[in-house]
Structure formats: structure tokens, C-alpha cells
Amino acid sequence: MSSQPQKRKHKTLTIKEKNDILERLNRNESFSSLASEYGVGRSTIYDIKKNRENIQKFMSTTDCGPGKRQTLKKAKHPEVEEALYMWFRQERNKHTPISEPILATKAKFFYKEITKKDDFLASKGWLERFKNRYGIRLMAITGENLSNDTSCIELFKLRFFQKVKDLDLCPSQVYNADESGLFWRVIPSKTFVSYNDNSVPIRKVIKERVTILPCANAAGTHALKMAVIGKSNKPRAFKNIDIPVHYYGQKSAWMTKDLFKKWFDECFVPEVRKWLKDHNLAQKALLLLDNGPGHPSEEELTTNDKFITAMFIPPNCTALLQPMEQHIIQFVKQDYKKNLLLRAISKDQPIETTLKEFNMKDFVFALCQSWNALPPSTITSSWKNLWPDIVTTPDSDPQIRVNSEVIEQVAVETQISSQDLEIWIHGIDKEENVFHEMSDEEIINQVSSSTIINKEDDDDVIETTPQVAAQDAINAFELGLQWAEENGASCDELLLLRRLRDKALVSRFNNVKQPTIYKYFHAS
């Protein structure tokens, strides 16, 4: 009698095993060999491949790996858990110790605020399921911060290199972007005075924040146009001019998922595709991002053809591996602050008056100037912690130097110490560092509705200056050309001044009345 074939025992794979299978499928390993090794049927391997996007999305957003979790079962109230996880990541980025009772209390708060009900217990069973769904581990933070967990860093680096290999990318096709806050027209207000000293004027500090989003490839050969988020939807200062940045209006001047998705689809993808085409590179690219609450999922940041996609750095690794945080953003801010000081003393009037006249148009052009001044070698060296093999030049950070006379002039007029001004230029304000910290209300807004403003806003309105006459512009450019030639300006700079002068000449010619021109050319 022939023996019946033994029935295969049912086996449920963990998410980690499923992700491993996906990576091996990318290396062209066969379905049959994988099914045999993992003790499952070929149909299971096909199902895993079919569910690739959901599995990889989960792997990219877990705090410390999937552990032993086996399924991607959704929560009963996903918006509540998303808000709680956004809050958790934000607190973890500040290295705040979080216990299970704190997590449960915050869960009940978000549930009540979002559902308007008060019947959620946040039981131990629910808490365990939530932690499993998001790959969270709770632990005491003592000694070294969890953000310096070398095991997590090495694990992510392996995943990153595998992704680059699977997509067959070179450094020119791998990009990084990172948001940062900036007070765009403020100099420090700190000064030391005695309690009885009434001679020091009280300076009203204009603290207007924007979010900047620099983005460049790892080779340092393609720096995209900077993105800026301000509170005004349509600053009047932008009227009738072509600005050198991608500008967005948002009521808090913060990055949201909707804004980031808009930037990805309308700016990042078209600019990258064009640059790759112009340089005869395959139309493939990877965008490396931190796991911030203002970013959509990897699935949403993937083009329809799957050739351009995103990858998230886990929160544990961001501080050490995020390239933009390795001197790039710091350089741009320092250079911008240097230029702001020069602008502050450029006119024969009080510094406060000059800064008040400094509008959003002036800001975006000054920011663009600082972004363009960033050396390509600095961009490449910023990848040294994540991708050291591509760094070929010595690790030297460019230094921003401000003329001591400028510092002294600002110090005398504002009664701010020279030391405080130096610290402000070369440091990063604490308020800028925590710029992305969101209130509970803003977290709820993020998970429930869009916060992009569509109405016209004039927060940046300043008094309109008289229109400059063409002849005045011609005279100014002629004088500028003379100064530039006497001070060793480059050929490109001289050509730019000449082009602007000629443009003013054409404008003057077009504004002259026709009978006058006819008389001029046909006089007997």
C-alpha cells in the first residue's frame, strides 16, 4: 500500500521573515526555493510579494523593528493610534522617558478628542497590541540615549545599502531632504544691563518663523530649488516677480503631509527626472527622509512607475545618519545670518528700521544665495556616517566668517555683546531646533484633516515703495559696473550686471513716445 503524502503543517511567518523574503526575491531567488526553506507553499510567497508595499511601509515606520509580529491587522480606531504614535515619536526625539501608564493616558486623551466619546479603557491588552502594531519598545533612558543605539544604526545601514543595490543606484540618484525652522528677520535680543539702567532701549523682536526644506543628491551634483513654508499664502512682496524657491503658505508655517506630498509630486519628481535626463542617467531615484510626523508614507512617496521612491531613517538613527543635519543646514543658516547682518548695517538708518523693511522677497533671495554658496564637497561629506565610501575629499567643514567691523557696528547700535552676536551666527537657536514639535491639537489636525490654507493672506505686507525709473536703474548699473571692475569682480558677475543694464536700456527705449523716436531717427 502506498503511503499518503504527509500534509504540511500550517505555518505563519513573522513580518520580519516576510520582509527577508521580499529582499531575497529582489535578488532573483526562486519562489520554490524560498517556499521550501521557510516551510510554506508557493502561493504564500506570491501573497507576500503581492503585499509588498504594506509590509515595507510597516518596516520603514516601526520604532525598533517588527519583533515577532506576524500580521498587519489594522486597529479599530486607526486615526487615534496614528495620533498617539506621532506624539510618541515626537517625545522620543526629545529623549523623554515614556511609561505604559503615560502612553495609556495619552491614548485616552486622543480617543476622546477625536471620537468625542469617553468609553475607551486603553487596557493592557490594547496597549500590547498597539506596541506590536507600531514596533514600539518602552525602556528606561539611562546613560547613553537610545538615539545612539549602534545596533539600530547598523541594521538600517544594511537595509539602505540593500535598497541602493536592488534599485541599482549611484550617489547621483540618491537624495536627502530635511526640514528646519528659521527666524528669518531677527537678530539676538540678549544683552546684560543693571536693574536700574533705563538707558538701554527695549527692542521689539520680530520672531517670524518659516520652514525651509533643502534637498540635494549624495554626489553633491544636484541641489534642488529650496522649498519655503511661510504663514502668508500669497505674500504681496512676491507680486510680479519670479522667486528662486518653491513657496507654500500654511497657517503655522509648518510642514504637513499634504504639503510634503505636493512638493514631492510637483517639485521633487519633475526636477529629478529632468536632471537625470540631462545627465544621461536612468530615471530612478531614492529620497532619504527622517521619520517625521509631517511626512507621508513610503507608498505615497512612490511614483506610479515605482522608479522614484522614498526611504525613512528610523527615529533611533536620525541624529547621526541624516545627511542634512551634518553641517549642511547649519552652513546655510550661518551664511544667511551673516548676510542679514550685512543688510542690517547697509542703510543710513536704525537697524530695527532696516530689518522691518526686509520682506519675504528679500528673504527668499538671500536664502537662495546662501544655498548656492554651499560647496558640493560639503554635501558629499555629510553622508560620511551613512555612506563613507562615496566621500573622497577630506572632511573639512566650510567656515562662515563675518567681518569684525560688522559685528562691532551691530553691537554698538543694538547694545548686544559681540560675543552674543558670534554665538547667534554660529549656533542654532533652541526654538529652531524644536520647531517641529507639535501641540496635541495640531497632531489631531494632522490625522483628521488638511491644514493647507487657500485664502489670500497678507501677513507680509509692507509699505509699497515708488517704482524705479528705467534711467535711474541704468545709472545705478553703470555705477555698479564701475565698482565691480575696480574690485576684481568675476566675468560672470560683470556679464550679469551688463545684462541687467541692457534690460533697463530696452525698457527705457520701449517707454519713449513713438513720435519722439521718429523725430530722432529722421531729423534732417
pLDDT in tens, 321-346: 999 998 899 899 989 998 888 888 87
Q: Which of 207-211, 295-299, 448-452 is most confident?
A: 295-299
Amino acid 399: pLDDT: 67
For the chain, the distance separating the N- and C-terminal CA atoms, rounded to the nearest angstrom, is 125
Cα angle value 143/395/430 (rounded, 5°): 50
Q: Tell me, rounded to whole angstroms, the distance of Cα 150 from its chain centroid.
A: 25
Amino acid 82: pLDDT: 82
What strand order describes the sheet that includes 174-177? 215-217, 174-177, 285-290, 308-313
Q: Strand pairing partners for 175? A: 217, 287
Give the residue-averaged pLDDT of 462-487.
Answer: 80
pLDDT band of residue 282 (cuts 50, 70, 90) is very high
Better pLDDT: 39 or 436: 39
In this predicted model, what pLDDT tens digit does every residue of 412-446 receive, in sequence order?
A: 777 777 777 777 777 655 445 434 566 777 777 76
Is pLDDT at 211 greater than 90 in this prediction?
Answer: yes
Is pLDDT at 479 greater than 70 in this prediction?
Answer: yes
Mean pLDDT of the chain, nearest integer: 79
In this predicted model, what pLDDT tens digit does every residue of 66-91 receive, in sequence order?
A: 445 555 556 678 888 888 887 887 77
DSSP one-letter code for 223: B
Distance from C-alpha of 443 to C-alpha of 86, rounded to nearest angstrom? 7
Distance from C-alpha of 120 to C-alpha of 109, rounded to nearest angstrom? 10
Kindly tell me the burial class for residue 10, based on how many C-beta atoms sit within 10 Å of its own C-beta (0-12, 13-18, 19 or more).
Answer: exposed
Is pLDDT at 277 greater than 80 in this prediction?
Answer: yes
Amino acid 408: pLDDT: 78
Distance from C-alpha of 189 to C-alpha of 183, rounded to nearest angstrom? 13
Amino acid 202: pLDDT: 40
Give the residue-averaged pLDDT of 504-517.
Answer: 64
Is pLDDT at 305 greater than 60 in this prediction?
Answer: yes
Distance from C-alpha of 381 to C-alpha of 390, rounded to nearest angstrom? 8
Kindly tell me the burial class for residue 421, based on how many C-beta atoms sit within 10 Å of its own C-beta (0-12, 13-18, 19 or more).
Answer: buried
Phi, psi of 449 (to 5 degrees): -160, 165
Element (H, E) at 369: helix 360-372
Backbone region of residue 295 per phi and psi (left: phi > 0; alpha: psi in -120 to 50; beta: other values): beta
Q: Cβ contacts of residue 173 below 8 Å, gap of 6+?
A: 167, 217, 276, 281, 282, 284, 285, 286
Amino acid 276: pLDDT: 98
Is pLDDT at 495 greater than 90 in this prediction?
Answer: no
Amino acid 345: pLDDT: 82
pTM of the model: 0.66
Amino acid 5: pLDDT: 54
Give the range among 13-22, 147-156, 208-217 with minimum mean pLDDT.
147-156
pLDDT band of residue 97 (cuts 50, 70, 90) is confident
Is pLDDT at 462 greater than 80 in this prediction?
Answer: no
pLDDT above 90 covers a percentage of the chain that reads: 28
Domains and CATH numbers, the chain: 15-61 (1.10.10), 150-448 (no CATH), 470-521 (no CATH)
pLDDT band of residue 452 (cuts 50, 70, 90) is very low
- Rounded to the nearest 10°, the torsion over CA 460, 329, 367, 392 is -160
Helix, strand or coil for residue 229? Answer: strand
Amino acid 308: pLDDT: 97
Amino acid 72: pLDDT: 57
